[in-house]
Amino acid sequence: MDTLFIAHLLNGLLMIAMPVGLAIYLTNRWKTGGRIWWIGAATFVLSQVGHIPFNWAVGKILNQTGMVSWSPIAQLIFNAVFLGVSAGIFEEGARYLVMRWWAKDTRSWRKGILFGAGHGGAEAIILGLLALYAFLQLAALRNADLTRLFPANQLALARQQVQAYWLSPWYLAMLGALERLFTIPCQIVMAVMVMQVFTRKNIGWLFAAIGYHALLDGVAVIGQKYLLPVSLEGVVGVFAILSIGIIFLLCQPEPAEVLPPVAPELVVPVTEPVPETAENLEDTRYQ
């Protein structure tokens, strides 16, 4: 078992283990249940139900317009803006709607972090499962006779993909896990920002979260064109550090726990016994 094999396997496992470990740590540290984390995870899935078909439909439409003749740089800029804004609207809009109508108790700093950890955690887990699925497929094809598995018109592409996967440096195989490590704090800060809409009574925080999300995704789209993979992850790492700073800037005291009212203790008066004397017995007789 060589180093590259282990790196590809470890990459997928870490993408799943990191968000699960973070969820366990936060819920144990703050003595909270996992409900808010699971709602955050469901929010990511719900956002993609609309986001993925929307991007696909718009792409189909735009491919029939004159935009296909734009210069490569113009198309790149458009894609960066469009993909960033659409991701921001769908994901932050989903967070807002869920906090408004479902997770109505997500109104504290800790719960906002748990919500964001669930949102980013679901994304990481899904991508981790896909990475493991690709690993299993390419591990099976590594030493296989591809001429028996692919038609002639697909054979060259299949060989290129298998070779690229198994000839890359081991550290490049780990970039998926590194990206998730950097992305989860970004998802957390955007959840905390959206929560400010309700705690500070200001809708501007929703647009701030959408803008931050659009900036992050837009930079990533452009970075894929001009930066090496390691350099691009360094840029995402800068966003992660910035996100952690904003998270702590938005820290607020946890609301005091409201205890149920305690019923006043019933006090039964205690009377001293009256000694029985001839005079007392005489006074208790009916006249």
- What does the pLDDT read at residue 258? 46
Which residues lie closer than 8 Å to 203 by C-beta, 6 or more apart?
A: 197
Tell me the pLDDT tens digit for each residue of 117-157: 999 999 999 999 999 999 999 999 988 888 888 888 888 89
How far is Cα 22 from Cα 113, in angstroms, rounded to an integer? 11
Alpha-carbon gap, residue 111 to 32, rounded angstroms = 9
- Looking at residue 3, its pLDDT comes to 93
Instruction: Kindly give the parts of the chain with pLDDT less than 50.
Output: 258-259, 286-287
Cβ pair 60, 96 in contact under 8 A? no
Pinpoint the alpha helices (H) of the chain.
3-29, 35-62, 72-101, 109-141, 152-167, 170-173, 175-199, 204-226, 229-249, 278-283
Q: How far, in Å, CA of 98 to CA of 104, rounded?
A: 8
Residue ranges of domains in the chain? 3-254
Six-digit token pair at 108?
């504290």
Cβ-in-10-Å burial (0-12, 13-18, 19+) of 248 comes to exposed
